[in-house]
Structure 1
Amino acid sequence: MFLAIRELRHAKARYALIAVIMVLVAFLVLFVTGLAQGLAYDSAAAVKNMKATHFILEEHSDNRFTRSQIGDEALETARQIAGTGNSTPLSLRMTTLVPEGDSVKLDVTLFAVDLNGWLAPDTTEGLSPAALSAGGIIADDSLKESGVQLGSVLRDQASGLTWTVRGFVKHESFSHTPVVFLPTAAWTELNARSAGVMTAKDGSYNAIAIQGSGATAEKLAQALPGTDVITKSDAVSAIPGYKEEQGSLLMMIAFLYIISAFVLAVFFYVITIQKTVQFGILKAVGARTRYLAQSVALQVLVLSAGSLVISTALVKLFEAALPGSMPFLLNTSTLVLTCLAFLVISLAGSLVSVWKVAKIDALDAIGRAAA
C-alpha cells in the first residue's frame, strides 16, 4: 500500500490524466444506465406501479393488453378462484386529447379501473380517485408541461367526449405516453360512442388484474381455457417496443463495460512497461511479486473508486438539470450495482499489468538499467 500511494503522489500528472479518462468513462456508463432505466420506467410505469401480481388476457394476444378482450364470464370465474377482492377488470386505449380552447393535441393512454379499488392510483394533487364525480378524470402530471391544470377540460378527439381534470398523479405512463384514469361510467360512455367496439354492458375488458400466488395463477389457467395468465413482468415485456428498446440500450451498456476494461488495461499495461526497470530492481532487493502486484491493483482500485465518486456527483448534477421530458432514473440499488460492476471491470483490466509484473526478471531489468 505504501508503494502504491507514494507512486500516485509522485507521478501526479500521469495519474491525474488517467483519472480524468476514468471519470469520463464511468460517467458515460452511469449516464447511459440511468437513461436505460428511465426509458424502461417511462414505458411501463403505469403497469409496474400496479399492485397486481398477474393478469388474465385473451389467448394469442401476445401478452399485449391492446390485443386482448375478456368478458364478464371470465371475471366471475376469476373472482371465484382468486377472491372478489383480488380480481378487478382493467381496460385501456390509446387516444388523443385536445384541451378546450387550445389547438395542442396530447397523445395519452386511457386507463379505466375501479377507482374505489386497489388498481386506483394515489393522487399527488387534487381529488382522490374515490372522490371523483361524473365527468372527472385523473391525469399524469407530465401533462402540466402542455398547459393542463386542475379544472382543464379535455376533449377526446375520436369520440368527442369531454372530461375535466380533477386530480394529478406522478410517474404513470404507458408506452411513453401519459396515463389518464377514467371511472368505469366514463369508459362505458366512451365505448358506446366507438363503432365496432364491444360496450361495457357486454362485459368487454382488456385484462383482469389479479393479486395472488403462483398456485392461484395455475388454477386460473386451468379454469379459463382460451386465456393466458401472465405475470406482471411478462406484461411489461410485451409493451410495444419495450424489449427492443431495452435490448439495444443494454447492449450499449455491455459494450461500454468491455471498452472500459480494454482502455484501463492498456493504460496500466503501458505504465507497467515503463516501470519494468524499477520493478526489477525492487525484486532484486527482495520485494515479492505478490507485493508489487498488490501495489498495481491498489492503484487501480483507488483511481476507480475516486473516479466513481466524482462521476456519481456529476450524474446527480446532470439529473437535476435534465428537463422533465427526458426520462432518467438511477435509483440507489442500480447506482451501487453499476459502481460495483465498474470496480470489478477495472480490477479485471489490471490483471494484464499484474501478469506483466509477475513476468519481470530482476537480472534482466538490472542489466537494462546498467546499459
Structure 2
Amino acid sequence: MFLALREFKHAKLRYLLVALIMILIAWLVLFVSGLAKGLSSDNASSIQNMNTDYLVLQKQADNRLNRSVISNDTLKDVRTFVSDKKSTPLGVQMTTLTKDGSAKKVDVTFFAINTNGMLAPDVAEGKMINNTTTNEVVADSSLKDNGFHLGDIVKDQASGKIFKIIGFTKEQSFSHAPVIHMNFKEWDAIHKANARGGEFFNAVALKANQDKADQIDNSVSGVDVITKSDALKGIPGYKEEQGSLIMMIAFLFVIAAVVLAVFFYVITIQKMNQFGVLKAIGAKTGYLAKNIVSQVLLLTIASLIISIALTYGVAFILPSSMPFDLSPQLVLGCSGLFLVVSVIGSLLSLYRVAKIDAIEAIGRAV
C-alpha cells in the first residue's frame, strides 16, 4: 500500500486520467442497470409484486396472460387441489380510457380481481373497491402524470362503460400501461357490453408448493401451470427488452476489463526497470503484485463512489415519466461485480511483473 500511494502522488495526472475513464464506465453501467430495472418494473410491476407463486393459464396461450381463457369449470377443477383462499381468478384486458371532458386517450390494462383475495393491491391514496362496488375502480398512480385525479370519471373506449377513480395504487403496471383494478361484477359487465358474454378469466393465481402445482398441471386438462418468472417472459416485449439491456451491461463490464487491462499493462511496461531494481534489492513478486492490486482497488473504489453519487444525482432530476429504478441492492451488486472485473483486468500486469528478470531489467536501466 505504501508503494501504491507513493506512485499516486508521483504520477497524479496519469492516474487521474485512468480514474476518469473508470468513473465514466461505472457511471454508464449503473445508469443502464437502473434503466433496465426501471423498464422491467414499468413493464411488469403488477406481476412482479403479485402475491402468488404460480399462475394457471390456458395450454395454447404461450405463457401470455392476454391470450389465455380460463372457464369457471376449470377454476372449479383447480380448486379440487387447492383451497379457495389459495386460488383466485384473474382477468386481464388491455384497453383505452378517456377522461370525462377530455378527448385525450390513455392506454391501460384492466385487472379483474376478488377484492378480498390475495391479489388485492395496497391502496396508497383514496380507498379500495369491494366485490359489490358498481362503476368504481382503483388505478395506478402513474395515471396522475396524464392528468387523472381521485374522483375523475373515465370511460372505457371498447365497452363504453363509465367508471369513477376512487383510489390509487403504486407500482402496478402491465406492458408499460397503468393497471386499473376492478371487481368481477364490473368485469362481467364489460364483456356483456362487448357481446362476449359467459363467465371467464385469463388466469388463476395460486399460493402453492411445487408438488401442488405439478398435480394441477398433470391432472387438469387444457392448462399450463407457470411461475411468475415465466409469466413475465410472456409479456409482449419484456424478454427482448431486458435481453438487449442486459447484453449492453455485459458488454460494458467486458469493456471495463479490457480498458483497465490495457491501462495498467502500459503503466507496468513503463515501470519495468523500476520493478527490476526493486526485485534486485529484495522485493518479492508478491509485494509488487500487492502494489498493483492495491492501486486497482483504490482507483476502482474511489471511482465507484463518485459514479454512484453522479448516478443518483442524475436520477433525482430525471422526469417521473422516465422509468428508472436504482435500488441499494442493485448498486451493491454492480459495484461488487465492477471490483471483480477490475481485479481481472489487472491480471495481465501481474503476470508481466512475475516474469521480470531483475538482472535484465537493471541492464536496461543502466
Superposition TM-score tier, normalisation by shorter sequence? over 0.9
Q: Which residue of 2 aligns with 1:220?
A: 216
Correspondence for 1:240 among 229, 236, 241: 236
Normalised by the size of structure 1, how large is the TM-score? 0.96
Q: Which residue of 2 aligns with 1:185?
A: 185
SS at match of 1:159: coil
Q: Is the 8 A contact 2:132 2:185 kept in 1?
A: no
Q: Which residue of 2 aligns with 1:305?
A: 301
User: Offset of 1:77 from its aligned partner?
Assistant: 1.8
User: Offset of 1:368 from its aligned partner?
Assistant: 1.6
User: Offset of 1:131 from its aligned partner?
Assistant: 8.8
Cα separation, 1, equivalents of 2:185 and 2:83: 24
Q: Does 1:283 align with 2:271?
A: no
Q: Which residue of 2 aligns with 1:23?
A: 23
Q: Which residue of 1 aligns with 2:68?
A: 68
- CA gap of 1:203–1:138, structure 2 versus 1, over 3 A, is same
Q: Which residue of 1 aligns with 2:145?
A: 145
Q: Is the 8 A contact 1:70 1:203 kept in 2?
A: no
Q: Which amino acid in structure 2 is aligned with residue 135 of structure 1?
A: N
Q: Which residue of 2 aligns with 1:363?
A: 359
SS at match of 2:200: coil
Residues 188-267 of structure 1 aligned to structure 2 (within 5 Å): 188-195=188-195, 197=196, 199=197, 202-267=198-263
Residues 343-354 of structure 1 aligned to structure 2 (within 5 Å): 343-354=339-350
Residues 145-164 of structure 1 aligned to structure 2 (within 5 Å): 145-164=145-164
Cα separation, 2, equivalents of 1:101 and 1:232: 39
Q: Is the 8 A contact 1:123 1:129 kept in 2?
A: no
Cα separation, 2, equivalents of 1:269 and 1:356: 8
Q: Which residue of 2 aligns with 1:274?
A: 270
Normalised by the size of structure 2, how large is the TM-score? 0.98
Any stretches of 5+ residues in structure 1 without a counterpart? none
User: Offset of 1:115 from its aligned partner?
Assistant: 1.3
Q: How many residues align?
A: 366
Cα separation, 2, equivalents of 1:138 and 1:194: 22
Q: Which residue of 2 aligns with 1:8?
A: 8
RMSD (Å), alpha carbons: 1.2
Q: Is the 8 A contact 1:120 1:129 kept in 2?
A: no
Q: Does 1:322 align with 2:326?
A: no
Q: Deviations over 1:145-197 (max 9, x none)?
A: 111000111111111111011000111000111111112111111000113x2
Q: Which amino acid in structure 1 is aligned with residue 72 of structure 2?
A: D
Q: Which residue of 1 aligns with 2:128?
A: 128
Q: Which amino acid in structure 2 is aligned with residue 141 of structure 1?
A: S
Cα separation, 2, equivalents of 1:88 and 1:160: 27
Q: Is the 8 A contact 1:159 1:190 kept in 2?
A: yes
Cα separation, 2, equivalents of 1:224 and 1:318: 51
Q: Which amino acid in structure 2 is aligned with residue 43 of structure 1?
A: N
Q: Which amino acid in structure 1 is aligned with residue 27 of structure 2?
A: F
User: Offset of 1:287 from its aligned partner?
Assistant: 0.7
User: Offset of 1:40 from its aligned partner?
Assistant: 1.2
SS at match of 1:81: coil
Cα separation, 1, equivalents of 2:314 and 2:57: 41
Cα separation, 2, equivalents of 1:130 and 1:267: 63
SS at match of 1:82: coil
Using the aligned pairs only, state the percent identity. Answer: 49
SS at match of 1:36: helix
User: Offset of 1:273 from its aligned partner?
Assistant: 0.9
Cα separation, 1, equivalents of 2:347 and 2:132: 63
Q: Which amino acid in structure 2 is aligned with residue 158 of structure 1?
A: A
User: Offset of 1:253 from its aligned partner?
Assistant: 0.8
- CA gap of 1:225–1:131, structure 2 versus 1, over 3 A, is closer
User: Offset of 1:133 from its aligned partner?
Assistant: 3.4
Cα separation, 2, equivalents of 1:141 and 1:292: 57
Cα separation, 2, equivalents of 1:137 and 1:65: 21
Cα separation, 2, equivalents of 1:327 and 1:212: 32
Cα separation, 2, equivalents of 1:369 and 1:129: 82
Cα separation, 2, equivalents of 1:96 and 1:239: 18
SS at match of 2:30: helix
Q: Deviations over 1:31-64 (max 9, x none)?
A: 1111111111111100111111111111111011
Q: Is the 8 A contact 1:97 1:157 kept in 2?
A: yes
